[in-house]
A and B are shown apart, each in its own frame.
Chain A
């Protein structure tokens, strides 16, 4: 019987130059502190020796074109490429120098997809979508030079219609947990993104975060109040700039009723940063 052997969530622009340029020395220092913590977390993750690593993250209108935007998408296939983009913006410069290809855990990915559809989840599948910073900045920070286990990339659509609800994301996480429990594999699960930034997705409000909202959310995860988390509305997420919490909600469903342990929390102003682990062992 399989089990989840490690679970964590963390902000996903782990790139000091970005914050140095856009926030200043204070931002650079804060993300460097976060990176040091994520590297420590990576040692725990590596020690857990998972057969597969499920990574739950969002697309920044970078991978899926307007031909089709999936609400929830499982990456299938045998390998996945790092996104390569000419003149990459600052976010994606964090990927420069990383391996160009990563293995996919095909059996787990296919099980999540096919059993999900049988269970009523209209998951999309992709055989070709590459991974941007939302996936690889955390993965590369966690693993450093150590080998990365086969991945199961799982996209949650956070910014444009059709976004799934918080409750639906949590249910998708419960589904992932059931697939893992029924399978033969040990699995790690990480969710990425957040905390609050880009409120209302308004260019005029870049530079603002919502620390009151973030403190409340972190407390809810520490106390394991998942009912309150699944009750979050699209309006609350949009107004506070917490769109990417949908990724975290999938993870919460996968680990519920486990409580979070805060490894890092920092209020930068432009974006609030965090890294949390869940006691799943």
Chain B
């Protein structure tokens, strides 16, 4: 499990609009160089926020990514 990498990516999705656009267009490609487990990668690709939270993704990031965050 790469909790640090998960949260760095969530933070980047929150703050970096260009990265966010690339992720929306092709999540698997946007995450190609990321050091994630298969489980984490799939949770990102499916945008399964609860799964990401269970895997250590920080709540305040998960709920605040423009266009993806939800309460």
Contact = CB atoms under 8 A, between A and B. Distances in A.
A206 B71 contact: yes
A201 B61 CA distance: 11
Interface string B31-71: 00000000000000000011001000011111110110101
B17 interface: yes
A203 B70 CA distance: 10
Interface string A11-53: 0000000000010000000000000000000000000000000
Query: In which size bucket is the chain B interface?
Result: 20 to 34
B8 A89 contact: no
A203 B64 contact: no
Contacts of A62: 60, 64
A204 B58 CA distance: 13
B23 to A, nearest CB: 14
A102 interface: no
A61 B61 contact: yes
Contact of A198 (B14, B49, B59): B59
Contact of B66 (A65, A86, A201): A86
Contacts of B7: 66
Nearest to A18: B71
Given A65-B11, A91-B64, A203-B63, 15 more contacts: A60-B60, A61-B14, A61-B61, A61-B64, A86-B17, A87-B17, A87-B67, A89-B63, A89-B64, A159-B59, A203-B50, A203-B59, A203-B62, A204-B53, A206-B71
Interface of B: 4, 7-8, 11, 14-15, 17, 49-50, 53, 58-64, 66-67, 69, 71
